[in-house]
Structure 1
């Protein structure tokens, strides 16, 4: 049997494929080695459809013209099985709709792993992030309110064990596990989860040495827990997303591996900001939950302008003149906003964006941006969004609940308790965005667009831009499902850098064989 020069990847708990996308996007002209997704597994139906579509598209050096027409809104998604049956079949074999931890999935994966191992020697990689709801701070706070909730019986705490089981069975040369920062402090029955995770990873299969991409503790035993945390904004991602990234290399490889090629990830010189990826996008008006047409929206925004201006006597910031000037700008430009997904200046990015990130996002063949439709907002929320975005423009930060004029505050019983102090959060142009989470699917209050004249929350595409998904990456499912996929994903641009950081290890393995 012919030995492949590809680095074969098994991707567990894949979501819409952000981690795998980053690895597949990393290329080098030095040799024939490259990353190849052999199998990816996701149980959510909508995320799996996205995953399968991307697996199909990777079969082409240039995506089919029919795909670009679909992205521009010119018709439905084609029947790929009829147009390109060979590539579609390969995508089905790669992207599985299955639940990890079940006997059926375990048996099927075991068979696939045996096939992979026969053709790859030591060029193997396991990636993935077990679902994080039980570890995240938000998830844990929700669990406290669940009647009769018993942490030790919540199987979500132990999904990482399925990752470890596959790790032992697959026995790859390298693995990468991703999870939320909350895993560091999560505990069950008084025992910390993270220590158990690290112990189980180290003891899986033939044994692994763990590495933090910060470069700390590389040759001196296990790194400190906090050293495993990567802050995405330090690596060119325009979003403050802090995640645990654990890299493991087989001990038998580490013993002979030169110290100068141990995996580390250099911090970027400058920080990417919201304006780098959103300022050049089409200017869209918000939708309305009722009577959503251009004239109704303009009337609703006019009402919001009057309501906000009426409350400026009680303005709590320190730059009232700047606030009023922004209100005036909105009044003069609001009639120009539309709901079109097309952009006449697509690809014209601000000078502040890094060339590398721009090239990662941009696709010159795009005719229109998909997943870029605005939500329908209640008319009463328009005045709150308008106030919050103008306040952020003037003060450089989002307003807290106590800074909202009383007549603009929502009618919530807990509004003044402090529990919702940042309920209306604007993504400031000049800072990295706040963490995009699956909560964005519930409402847009935490993700208000910084351009006050658009008076709305972010679209799926804009959230995907903050997550650094390429513009040609389409999310299937309804809008709620699309938001969940984006919020749960690993930023592909960060994933590509992780792929680059561990690349020298595979180059060394390739030379040694």
Structure 2
């Protein structure tokens, strides 16, 4: 059996990166860090029940990464986080091969900046990469993986480009990243087996002391040759991802099933988290009309203005942006966002007979999570953690590509 590479996962969320890396059977997670309680519990359970980590109470750390010194050395009797032995004791004498993570992206997203009064210049999440860097400095991995939204390329908190800050910080602690990030490192994950148009910046940093003077040449080869070989031959569609799931049809009465309310829909299916959120009759009629329009090829709602007019006609309100989007069976989904926790109007199911937005399980499938991936049971939290996650299928392909890099340089 080939040797496994050791990773530390920062900003781990519910474990999209972790799940992808574990699928390869080539990696061992020395530690994972996540501060949000719901995804922390999901990640902990997944690692224990699926990947047989028996010490997840210690290995998966719930802590604020901004308190970096304590994260590394341990914390005790904390009112919110209790006790934790810290990363150093978890790593012990093991070499850290890769540190993986992407700070929360809301402060980098274009949508987030538009909605913020000061374009999120003061948002603390702009600077979480500095804590990431401190962990890198401590453990000096051979490779770092830094993932974020496309908006990071134009974000300038404090008037200084965040990419310039990140590039300079990586260089100062001995890591080389690719030049012309937009050209080389901005990837559409639908090219990598994900049934979703999802552009993400994927920065690979090489330890200059490990890879030597040719680090820039190695990086260019990684992006322009190695990684391209892990692209899919065909693009995965919405139908490929969710077409076999049980249909959830409207009905004429409301019902309560257990703790959850279902309006106009049948009882829960055998698939966990495959049940719709509450929809009132007005919205059901809108969903049916929009999806039927696409089904018959009339396409009278194909323009933004037409969708805005429909919204005003149906609700009596006005909006500067169009609220609705119907997924198309034969295309990838639009990006699955954390905003799904608030509404699913931009992710309407393509079957006009079902007349609803997508379920948690459908969102998970569009992100590439397996059906045995168990979420928290809270619809709001589950939509959010799925939208924030790295698609595991992409993570798996990236992990295999990185392992190939390590093999070629005699580092396994």
Q: How does 1:190-201 map to 2 (within 5 A)?
A: 190-201=159-170
- The change in CA–CA distance for 1:165 and 1:433 in structure 2 (over 3 A counts) is same
Aligned partner of 1:379 in structure 2 is: 281
Q: Residue in 1 aligned with 2:136?
A: 167
Aligned residue number for residue 175 of structure 2: 208
1:21 counterpart SS class: helix
Distance 1:189 1:502, change over 3 A: same
Using the alignment, how far apart are the partners of 1:110 and 1:162 within structure 2? 18
| Structure 1 SS opposite 2:295 | helix
The structure 2 residue matched to 1:101, chosen from 63, 66, 70, is 66
Instruction: Name the counterpart of 2:260.
Output: none
Q: Deviations over 1:379-436 (max 9, x none)?
A: 1111110011112223397644543575983325324xxx223x11111101110000
Within 2, Cα distance between the matches of 1:254 and 1:127? 18
Root-mean-square deviation over aligned CA pairs: 2.8
2:43 — aligned with what? Answer: 51
How far, CA to CA, are the matches of 1:150 and 1:183 in structure 2?
A: 13
CA contact (8 A) 1:427 1:450 kept: yes
Structure 1 residue 113 corresponds to structure 2 residue 84: no
**Structure 1 unaligned residues grouped into runs of 5+:** 28-33, 61-86, 212-221, 295-299, 302-336, 343-368
Q: CA deviation at 1:252?
A: 2.0
**CA pair 507-436 structure 1, distance change in 2 beyond 3 A:** same
Three-state SS of the structure 2 residue aligned to 1:265 is helix
Structure 2 gap ranges (5+):
75-83, 258-262
Partner of residue 124, structure 2:
155
For residues 441-480 of structure 1, what are the alpha-carbon distances to aligned partners after superposition, in whole Å with 9 as ceiling and x for unaligned?
Answer: 1111111000111110000000000000011001114110
The answer (yes or no) to whether the contact 2:122–2:157 under 8 Å persists in 1 is: no
TM, length-normalised to structure 2 = 0.86
SS across alignment from 1:268: coil
* Distance (Å, rounded) in 2 between the aligned partners of 1:260 and 1:100: 31
* Residue matched to 2:235: 271
Residues 278-324 of structure 1 show CA distances to partners (whole Å, capped at 9, x for unaligned) of: 11111112589x82389xxxxx98xxxxxxxxxxxxxxxxxxxxxxx
- CA deviation digits over 1:157-185, x for unaligned, max 9? 10111111111111000110100000001
CA distance in 2 between partners of 1:371 and 1:488 (Å):
17
CA distance in 2, matches of 1:500, 1:512: 14
Q: What do residues 243-296 of structure 1 show as CA deviations (whole Å, max 9, x unaligned)?
A: 0000011112222779689533123221111110111111112589x82389xx
Matches within 5 A, 1:114-513: 116=91, 118-120=93-95, 124-144=97-117, 149=118, 151-204=120-173, 207-211=174-178, 222-255=179-212, 262-263=221-222, 264-266=226-228, 267-286=231-250, 291-292=254-255, 338-342=266-270, 369-395=271-297, 399-400=302-303, 402-403=305-306, 409-415=313-319, 419-421=320-322, 423-508=323-408, 511=410
Q: Which structure: larger Rg?
A: 1
Distance 1:156 1:402, change over 3 A: same
Structure 1: which 4+ aligned runs deviate by more than 6 Å? 256-261
- Give the deviation of 1:126 after TM superposition: 0.2
The aligned counterpart of 2:81 is: none
Change over 3 Å in CA distance of 1:188–1:292 after alignment to 2: same
Secondary structure, aligned partner of 1:434: coil
Q: Distance in 2 between matches of 1:198 and 1:407?
A: 44
